[in-house]
């Protein structure tokens, strides 16, 4: 089997790629996609630790399943907000949504 | 370590016995299995297209293909040759990569289902512990292919068609999954092989005919067959999401759809009518293939018959039929079946593993389940009739006498 | 690391995952980005299979690819004029690159390699032959001593999210 740290390596890399997407992209939908990548990276970690450390305690898999639930809820509400913003301001660029900025 | 008994069932063992590395032998045997499972459907689809055309022709009082080969059996080969030699057009402004990827994904999403189709007591691509879930998951990839095709064609008809299709497919996935849960609950496993073996004494269609009916309707909608063929409603959308496709790429969508219908018929046979189960199947496993395909063909022909005899319904009727009728009924059915099943278990009517193959031992449980299902059906039909009457009454009051009921927006197809 | 089929498959899925991720954050066209995202999520599903969590892999395909990715593509199309932008990154993209790279190096050098990396006591950690099955996962969800309360809360969250999404996205007429 592949050693555990390789899974952690892949997860960390995916997390940072997602984080870069969140930090650097202008389009709100692209930012949402970055968040999905980060959530997936977390899931890889959860399942990998479950498999290598505690294969008979279900917490790891259960927690990963809850991440799915949260991701689905987040995507639904997030995209609804984006569409609503687009309708009101004709833009999905996050820099244009600056009412709370000085 | 496997041994070499006969080449069909212990291929890896035979390779090892003849001096191959065990890991390599395992890999080769899996590879061979994958190729066989993926090629089988592609061979079958050639004859499915012939069956479909012949059947449609007979319904419409025509002869159908009858020139190429005996009974026109080779017509599909001629058609395929024609499609391959046709000019392959990629529209200007199309997204080339996605445009070319979409038909492949469309076919692959159907072929992937065959990995969990058990064709005999011994033969299945992969007896996953999550087989039923895998079927749903892989099916959802087909939606993606349609979305990609519709968007990348750079054509407004294609995009409109794709939007409608995705709305339809995503909606009908809900009752599909709810009715799929019923046999999974009966069998206590999501493994396809396990579901088949659990029907040794009694087919699940007897336990819950309502779930079977909902599953059948949903699969009919999932494959976009009449009366749900809004996917390529020629008279409204020109041809729907695949309007820009030509040559063999169109052929792939076409083949994928035909294969999907047959695959769903097989899955129906597996989930509700015992798959490969039949007399002497454990003595001669090869018989299982015949039983499965015979059962599947019956449902396939039923689907063909519906396609050729029913008119298309409208998009709003399609959606309200799903959300106002199928989804509530499937949820109610699931709850009812779960409750009755638990009651039957508690009062000990369910036969144990020692007489799992005894038909009579299952009879009391089956009668209770059947009565429950029928009661639910009657209640649902009564509610529908009330709704229909109210709609008719409201329509008569609010609109002029010559207006038809169908002009009412978002009305159910009303049983008179 | 020994060289066998398992590690080759791991390598393939990792490359798919990371390549898809890179494509997602760098592609100019958002629809392409969504397709790359799907590729990446497929890779993650493959990793779940390798980690003997087939249920999560199927859910990954069903929820992420069948629902979330489709939703994202829908959102991209509904905000269509934004599909092709001349400038896809904001002004702080170079800083973001540095921060993300630093974060990765920090994770790698600070935690993963010293605690789990080769040469440490944890490196020899091997997954057990036996592993909990999907049945155990299902039992854990509905067992009164385990996760039944979070499970119910999750369903409540989904309901709330569904209602919220409809309310927010609804067109006022």
Residues in chain B whose Cβ is within 8 Å of chain C: 23, 27, 95, 97-98, 128-130, 133-134, 136-138, 140-141, 143-144, 147-148, 151, 159, 166, 170, 173, 190
- Please give the average per-residue pLDDT across A34-38, as a whole number: 92
Is A31 within 8 Å of chain C by CB? Answer: no
pLDDT of residue B68: 79
B54: DSSP letter = H
Count how many domains chain C has: 2
Inter-chain CB proximity C59 and B95 less than 8 Å: no
- Search chain B and give the residue with CA nearest C133: B129
Which residues on neighbouring strands pair with residue A93, listed in sequence order? A27
Say whether B141 and C73 touch across the interface (CB within 8 A): no
Strand partners, A25: C89
- Residue A10 confidence (pLDDT): 92
Q: Does C154 touch chain A (CB under 8 A)?
A: yes
User: Does residue C16 share a domain with residue C78?
Assistant: yes
Q: Is residue B97 part of a domain?
A: yes
> Are C79 and C8 found together in one domain?
yes
Question: Where does chain C have alpha helices with state H?
Answer: 5-26, 30-50, 54-59, 69-78, 93-105, 134-142, 148-169
pLDDT (0 to 100) of residue B312: 82
Rounded to whole angstroms, the Cα distance separating C46 from C12 reads 9
Secondary structure element (H or E) that encloses residue B385, with its range: helix B359-398
Instruction: Please tell me if residue C117 touches chain B, with a CB cutoff of 8 Å.
Output: no
Q: Is residue C58 assigned to a domain?
A: yes
- Return d(Cα B183, Cα B179) in angstroms, integer: 8
Residue of A nearest to C6 (CA): A1
Q: Does C69 touch chain B (CB under 8 A)?
A: yes
Angle (deg, nearest 10), helices C69-78 and A59-89: 10
With a CB cutoff of 8 Å and minimum separation 6, the contacts of A69 are C154, C157, C158
B/C touch flag: 3 or more CB pairs below 8 Å? yes
Nearest CA in chain B to C65: B141
Give the CATH fold of the A4-96 domain: Helix Hairpins (1.10.287)
Q: Is the dihedral of CA B348, B349, B350, B354 positive or negative?
A: positive
Give the domain extent around B125: 86-407
Residue C55 lies in a domain: yes
DSSP codes joined into one string, B204-227: HHHH-HHHHHHHHHHHHHHTT-TT
Average pLDDT, integer, range C33-41: 91
Instruction: State how far the Cα of B23 lies from the Cα of B400, in Å rounded to an integer.
Output: 78
**Which DSSP helix (H) or strand (E) runs through B273?**
none
- pLDDT for the residue numbered B238: 67
Q: How confident is the model at residue B399 (pLDDT cuts 50, 70, 90)?
A: low
d(CA B355, CA B378): 33
**Average pLDDT for B80-104:** 83
- Measured in degrees and rounded to the nearest 5, phi and psi for residue B349 equal -80, -15
Say if residues B41 and B263 touch (Cβ distance below 8 Å): yes
Which ipTM value was assigned to this complex?
Answer: 0.90
| Partner residue facing C72 (CB), from A8, A9, A79 | A79
CA closest to C54 among chain B residues: B130
Could you count the other beta carbons within 10 Å of the beta carbon of residue B348? 8
CA distance B188 to chain C (A): 10
Domain boundary among C49, C68, C83: C83
- pLDDT tens for C82-136 read 555 666 777 888 888 999 999 999 988 888 788 777 777 777 777 777 788 888 8
Query: What is the C-alpha to C-alpha distance for residues C40 and C24, in angstroms, rounded to an integer?
Result: 8
The Cα angle at residue C10 between residues C8 and C11, in degrees rounded to 5: 65
pLDDT score, position B183: 92
Q: Which of C51, C90, C149 to mutate to test the interface with A (most CBs of A within 10 A)?
A: C51
Pairwise pLDDT comparison (B407 vs A68), residue with the higher score:
A68
Band of the pLDDT at B11, cuts 50, 70, 90? Answer: low
Sorting pLDDT into bands at 50, 70 and 90, what band is B402?
very low
Angle at B63 between CA B58 and CA B66, to 5 degrees: 130
Shared-domain flag, residues C79 and C137 = no
Is position B111 within any domain?
yes
pLDDT category at C81 given cuts 50, 70, 90 is low
Contact B173 C66 (CB under 8 A): yes
Q: Among the three residues C83, C115, C143, which one is the final residue of a domain in this structure? A: C83
Give the pLDDT confidence score for residue B3 in this predicted structure: 54
pLDDT at B226 over 50: yes
DSSP assignment, residue B125?
S
CA dihedral defined by B215, B221, B226, B230, rounded to 10 degrees? 170
B137 and C74 within 8 Å at the Cβ level: the answer is no
Range in A13-27, B63-77, B130-144 with the lowest mean pLDDT: B63-77
8 Å CB contact of B133 and C38: no
Query: Which of B371, B369, B351, B349 has its CA nearest to residue B359?
Result: B351
User: Is C106 contained in some domain?
Assistant: no
The DSSP secondary-structure symbol of C37 reads: H
| Mean pLDDT computed over B374-378 | 87
The listed range with the strongest mean pLDDT (A47-51, A91-95, B388-392, C124-128) is: A47-51
Q: How far is A67 from chain C (nearest CA, A)?
A: 10
**pLDDT at residue B1, rounded to an integer:** 41
**Does C7 have pLDDT greater than 90?**
no
Q: pTM of the entire structure? A: 0.86
* Residue B369: pLDDT over 60: yes
pLDDT band at B12 (very low <50, low <70, confident <90, very high): low
Is C51 touching A (CB cutoff 8 A)?
A: yes
Count CB atoms within 10 A of the CB of residue B325.
19
- CB of B351 within 8 A of CB of B361? yes
Contact call for B166 and C70, based on CB within 8 A: yes
Gap between the Cα atoms of B146 and B106, Å rounded: 7
When pLDDT is averaged across residues B256-281 and rounded to a whole number, the result is 87
How many Å lie between the alpha carbon of A101 and the closest alpha carbon of chain C? 16
Same domain, C78 and C138: no
Strand, helix or coil for residue B76:
helix
pLDDT of C139 above 60: yes
CB contact (8 A) between residue A10 and residue C17: yes
Nearest alpha-carbon partner for A4 in A68, A59, A55: A55
Please indicate, yes or no, if residue C6 is contained in any of the structural domains.
yes
**Is there a contact between B136 and B173 (Cβ–Cβ < 8 Å)?**
yes
User: How many structural domains is chain B composed of?
Assistant: 1
Overall average pLDDT of the A88-98 stretch: 81
Q: What is the pLDDT of residues A45-64, one digit of tens each?
A: 999 888 888 888 888 889 99
Domain boundaries, chain A: 4-96
Domain co-membership, C3 together with C77: yes
Inspect the interface and report whether the beta carbons of A80 and C166 lie closer than 8 Å: yes
Question: Any idea what the CATH number is for the domain that residue C11 is in?
Answer: 1.20.120.1200
Is the pLDDT score of B243 beyond 70? yes
A65 CB within 8 Å of a chain C CB = yes
Determine the Cα–Cα distance for residues B157 and B237; give it in Å rounded to an integer.
6
Q: Higher model confidence: residue C61 or residue B234?
A: C61
Domain enclosing residue C8, as ranges: 1-83
Chain C residue numbers with beta carbons less than 8 Å from the beta carbon of A70 are 157
Contact A4 C122 (CB under 8 A): yes
pLDDT, tens digit, 9 for 90 and up, residues B294-305? 899 999 999 888
Mean pLDDT of B29-47: 83
pLDDT band at B4 (very low <50, low <70, confident <90, very high): low
Q: How many Cα atoms sit within 13 Å of B331 on the Cβ side? A: 7
B186, B193 contact by CB (below 8 A): no
Establish if C35 touches chain A: CB-CB under 8 angstroms: no
* Residue B179 pLDDT class (50, 70, 90 cuts): very high
Residue C17: predicted pLDDT: 93
Provide Rg for chain B, Cα atoms: 24
C74/B contact by beta carbon, under 8 A: yes
Q: Which of C2, C1, C4, C126 is nearest to A4 (CA)?
A: C126
- The nearest CA of chain B is from the CA of C122 a distance in Å of 28
Beta bridge partners of C29: C84
Of B122-131, B268-277, C5-14, C144-153, the one with minimum mean pLDDT is B122-131
Contact residues for B33 (Cβ-Cβ < 8 A; gap 6+) = B125
> pLDDT by residue (tens digit) across B309-351?
888 888 888 888 888 888 888 998 999 889 888 888 888 777 7
Is it the case that residue B165 has pLDDT exceeding 70? yes
What residues does C84 pair with on adjacent strands? C29
Mean pLDDT of B215-222: 90
Q: Is residue B133 part of a domain?
A: yes
């Amino acid at each position: 089997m592949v050693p555990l740290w390789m899974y952690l390596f892949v997860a960390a890399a995916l997390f940072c790629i997602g984080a870069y997407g969140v930090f650097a992209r202008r389009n709100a939908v692209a930012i949402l996609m970055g968040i999905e990548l980060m959530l997936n990276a977390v899931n890889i970690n959860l399942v990998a630790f479950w498999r290598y450390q505690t294969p008979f305690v279900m917490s790891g898999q259960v927690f990963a399943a809850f991440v799915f639930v949260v991701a689905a809820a987040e995507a639904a509400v997030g995209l609804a907000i984006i569409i609503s913003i687009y309708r009101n301001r004709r833009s999905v660029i996050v820099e244009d949504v600056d009412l709370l900025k000085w | 370590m496997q041994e070499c008994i006969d080449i069909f069932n212990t291929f890896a063992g035979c390779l090892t016995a003849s001096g191959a590395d065990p890991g390599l032998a395992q890999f080769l045997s899996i590879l061979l299995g994958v190729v066989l499972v993926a090629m089988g459907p592609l061979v079958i689809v050639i004859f499915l297209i012939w069956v479909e055309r012949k059947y449609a022709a007979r319904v419409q009082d025509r002869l159908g293909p009858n020139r190429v080969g005996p009974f026109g059996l080779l017509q599909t080969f001629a058609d395929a040759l024609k499609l391959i030699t046709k000019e392959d057009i990629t529209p200007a402004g199309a997204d080339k990569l996605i445009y070319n990827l979409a038909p492949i994904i469309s076919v692959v999403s159907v072929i992937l289902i065959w990995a969990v189709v058990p064709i005999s007591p011994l033969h299945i691509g992969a007896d996953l512990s999550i087989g039923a879930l895998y079927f749903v998951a892989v099916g959802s990839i087909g939606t993606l292919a349609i979305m990609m095709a519709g968007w990348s064609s750079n054509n407004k008809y294609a995009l409109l068609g794709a939007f409608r299709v995705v709305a339809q497919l995503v909606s009908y996935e809900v009752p599909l999954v709810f009715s799929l849960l019923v046999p999974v609950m009966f069998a206590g496993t999501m493994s396809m092989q396990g579901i088949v073996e659990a029907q040794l004494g009694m087919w699940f269609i007897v336990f819950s005919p309502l779930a079977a009916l909902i599953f059948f309707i949903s699969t009919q909608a999932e494959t976009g067959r009449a009366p749900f063929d809004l996917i390529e409603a020629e008279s409204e959308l020109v041809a729907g999401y695949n309007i820009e496709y030509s040559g063999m790429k169109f052929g792939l969508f076409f083949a994928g759809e035909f294969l999907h219908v047959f695959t769903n018929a097989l899955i129906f046979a597996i989930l509700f009518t015992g798959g490969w189960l039949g007399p002497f199947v454990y003595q001669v496993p090869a018989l299982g293939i015949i039983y499965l395909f015979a059962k599947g063909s019956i449902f396939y022909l039923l689907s063909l018959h519906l396609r050729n005899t029913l008119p298309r319904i409208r998009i709003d009727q399609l959606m309200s039929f799903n959300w106002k009728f199928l989804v509530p009924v499937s949820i109610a059915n699931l709850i009812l079946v779960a409750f009755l099943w638990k009651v039957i278990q508690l009062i000990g009517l369910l036969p144990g593993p020692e007489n799992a193959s005894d038909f009579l031992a299952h009879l009391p449980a089956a009668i209770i389940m059947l009565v429950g299902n029928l009661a639910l059906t009657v209640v649902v039909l009564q509610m529908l009739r009330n709704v229909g009457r109210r709609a008719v009454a409201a329509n008569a009051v609010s609109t002029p006498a010559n207006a038809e009921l169908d002009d009412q927006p978002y009305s159910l197809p009303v049983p008179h | 690391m020994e060289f066998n089929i398992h590690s080759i498959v791991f390598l393939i899925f990792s490359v798919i995952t990371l390549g898809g991720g890179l494509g997602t954050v760098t592609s100019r066209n958002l629809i392409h980005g969504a397709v790359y995202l799907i590729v990446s999520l497929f890779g993650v599903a493959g990793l779940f299979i390798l980690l003997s969590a087939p249920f999560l892999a199927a859910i990954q395909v069903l929820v992420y690819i069948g629902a979330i990715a489709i939703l994202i593509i829908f959102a991209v199309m509904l905000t269509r004029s934004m599909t092709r932008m001349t400038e896809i990154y904001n002004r702080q993209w170079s800083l973001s690159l540095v921060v993300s790279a630093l974060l990765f190096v920090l994770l790698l050098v600070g935690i993963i390699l010293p605690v789990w990396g080769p040469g440490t006591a944890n490196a020899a950690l091997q997954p057990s032959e036996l592993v909990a099955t999907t049945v155990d996962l299902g039992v854990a969800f509905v067992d009164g001593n385990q996760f039944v309360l979070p499970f119910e809360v999750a369903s409540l969250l989904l309901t709330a999210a569904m209602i919220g999404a409809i309310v927010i996205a609804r067109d006022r007429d």
